[in-house]
Amino acid sequence: MTLFFAALLYIAIAILLIPVLVLFVQAVVAFPVLRAGLPLAGQRPRIAVLVPAHNEEAGVAATIASVLPQLTGADRLLVVADNCNDATASVASTAGAEVRERSDLSQRGKGYALDFGVRCLADNPPDVLIIADADCIVTSGAIDQLARKAMLTSMPVQALYLMHAPAGSSPMKRVSEFAWTVKNLVRPLGFHRLGLPCQLMGAGMAFPWSTISSASLANGHIVEDLKLGIDLAIKGTPPVFYPHAMVYSTFPASVAGAQTQRTRWEHGHLSMMLSEAPNMLSEGIRQRKIGVIAMALDLCVPPVALLMLLVIALFSGALLFGLVTGVLWPLALSAVVLSVLGSAVLLSWWRYGKQILSAQNLGMAVIYMLAKIPLYLKFLVSRQVEWVRSKRDSE
């Protein structure tokens, strides 16, 4: 029996060591200061910006206002008012965007809106299509830089996409902001500096028209961006991270809105990790493409809170096993795994998180992890599989 439980612990250590090492490498490589990027050369391509919007009357005007000054007369800004029952279409039109309305309650989700928008643009296609969510702000110069990068690389390009806690938020919301920074800045930046691709993040995505026009978009997957990036990587066009162009948004202040958003993101990520990572890894090995293998390994890294919970549980189990049996090797190895993970988190916080979260409030991460246990248990018994829009603060 002792050998059996020891074997289980060694297997668990081996499984968790993979995502922990991936995260550690990313954090170490991302640690040097991110410096301003150089202007990209080449002729500016014709650009279309596509904004899918479902009941976004409160925020779509701000998104449009951040995009329009960056466009030329040859560019287009298209808002797809998708299954809306509010004033999204009229607000977007008044703000200066071209608007198309889509109504099909049997096909709900961002993927269907994107597919509809791409087909609408096909009558006069751009050189580059950029996708921005209707609750995002696109920072000055980002449109031009993303489009040029997409043309230079002939690859999908992902901007730096950050989420901010609302002003006056609790330390728990700041922990969420830091966790997002690890996911969308530290990890892709680390791989980018190693010459490796990144996952698509849903907003601030630029595509050569030939790539996006032939992509499979019409689906109701709750993390359609993640799936799209995986599909494109397997087909030979893995996304490139470009941290010098940024889009940002704000977490919903309401508890219900934040919970809906978090559930959609994390259940979707875990579902994709279980369903797509093995196939992606095997395809990468079969095709001998290091970029696809790297994306598969990156996909195997669960949300940091869950990874930390799993590693702490492993360490606790190894400690109990050692106390009962006197066999300490599993405890020593699990302590190494926990130390490596802790080092990755602290390195990320020291470089990119101190301005978000004070050292004192960093301790709130323990409460943050414990508070998310019900979300992860729900994934096991009643996971979210359909797209559900996050409730905004004005609703």
190: left (phi over 0), alpha (psi -120 to 50) or beta: alpha
pLDDT score for 331: 95
pLDDT given for residue 386 in this prediction: 55
Q: How far apart are CA 78 and CA 99, in angstroms?
A: 6
d(CA 99, CA 90): 8
* Domain range for 211: 47-255
273 within a domain of the structure (yes/no): no
Structural domain contains residue 335: no
At residue 267, the pLDDT reads 83
Average pLDDT, consecutive stretches of 10 residues, N- to C-terminus, the chain (395 residues): 88 96 98 82 92 94 97 96 94 96 88 94 96 95 96 96 88 91 97 97 95 86 85 94 96 69 78 88 92 95 94 96 92 97 97 91 85 84 59 50
Say if 377 falls within a structural domain. no
Residue 32 buriedness (CB in 10 A; 0-12 / 13-18 / 19+): exposed
User: Could you tell me if residue 360 is inside a domain?
Assistant: no
182 occurs within a structural domain: yes
Order of strands, sheet of 137-138, starting from the edge strand that comes earlier in the sequence: 98-102, 76-82, 47-53, 128-131, 205-208, 157-164, 240-250, 137-138
Cα separation, 200 vs 183, whole angstroms: 12
Is 10 part of any domain?
no
The residue written with tokens 């209707």 in the block is 134
pLDDT value for 391: 52
* Token couple for 352: 């990119």
Residue 359 in any domain: the answer is: no
In the structure encoding, which two tokens stand for residue 229, read together? 């990036």
Tokens of 87: 């004033």
> Residue 103: how many CA atoms within 13 Å on its side-chain side?
5
Residue 6 within any structural domain of the chain: no
- Identify the CATH number of the domain in which residue 215 sits: 3.90.550.10
Closest CA to 212 of 232, 197, 226: 232
- Which amino acid belongs to residue 295? M
CA 251, CA 173: separation in Å to the nearest integer? 8
| DSSP bridge pairs for 287 | none
Q: How many domains does the chain have?
A: 1
